[in-house]
Structure 1
Amino acid sequence: MAEAGQETRTETATADREIVISRIIDAPQELVFEAFTEVRHLSQWWGPEKFTTTTRSFEFREGGEWVFVLHGPDGTDYPEWIRWRRIAPPERIDLLHGEYPDDPNSFETFLAFAPDGAATRIVMRTVFATRELRDAAVEKYHAIEGGRQTLSNLAAYVTGIVGKGAQG
């Protein structure tokens, strides 16, 4: 019995510090992945509903950074910073996300893209340094709903591209 408990602890060592959101998107894996690689795509869908994005700088490569401002529907601006840590096309992107470089409250996000028939399953796993930071993100910034809305925006964007391609 103790061994089983130990296994569970190992499997969920970060469970109290993470948010996992997944979605099946009716578009090919390469297109869903590509939507993360170019600012012309990201600026069309990134963020929760009714948010917009202004990019200050963007370099999509391992070690590269994306510096941007997320504009809330109430007029609040949120400075944002991402460092791309690992890029494995078209299966995986790992990133560090905060308000600025060396932000002590930054968090890691691991994005996995996998074919699901003609569609793509995306899994977004975000890991915070502490449970308290995770809980604050959920309570103050509605991180779970915001993550779901962001993936919904991504789905609408890429399926729109697929639909336009089918028409043309």
Structure 2
Amino acid sequence: MDLNAMDAYEDDGFCLSGDASCDLCESIMTRYKNSSQEDHQHLCAVAGAISQELREQKLPLSPISYFGAAVSSLERLAGGPSTLQSGDPAIAALLNLLSVSISRISPAVLKSKGLSVAEVVVRVLGSSLQSPAAVKAGLKCVSQLLVAADKVDWAGMARPYGFLLTHVTDQRPK
């Protein structure tokens, strides 16, 4: 199974891997601003809102900042059933933004934060029925984070790995 083919948001056209000065929002807007697809419009809206928040907080518009903001937003959404709406297009957009940012940040950051972020993704996707787009983006995030994880922490990898296996064999669309 080619995990890179799982996502409609291929990395082509986004910032180069490892470019710490890259503004992901600018790349996303350039690529999808004229798209009529609803999921592209949601991704642009979420990226724009996060970019604006980063500017207001005077944070750099770097992949690590977008990574942190996406994780923080997902943590808030995973905080309780009242905040998480089944099929909310913002969830798919946040997961796609997270996936794009994961491939742009250092392996050291992913190794230290990856499993806790994977747990957040698992909580968000496991709490209610999500759209196929959200599941697809979430599976890509979890797989990217597992690849970067410390391979000696099997206990920490168990839940995200089990989640990945369960969804890969699930017959529902993704």
Q: TM-score, normalised by structure 2?
A: 0.30
> Bigger radius of gyration, 1 or 2?
1
Larger strand fraction of residues: 1
Give the number of the structure with larger relative contact order, counting CA–CA contacts within 8 Å between residues 6 or more apart.
Answer: 1
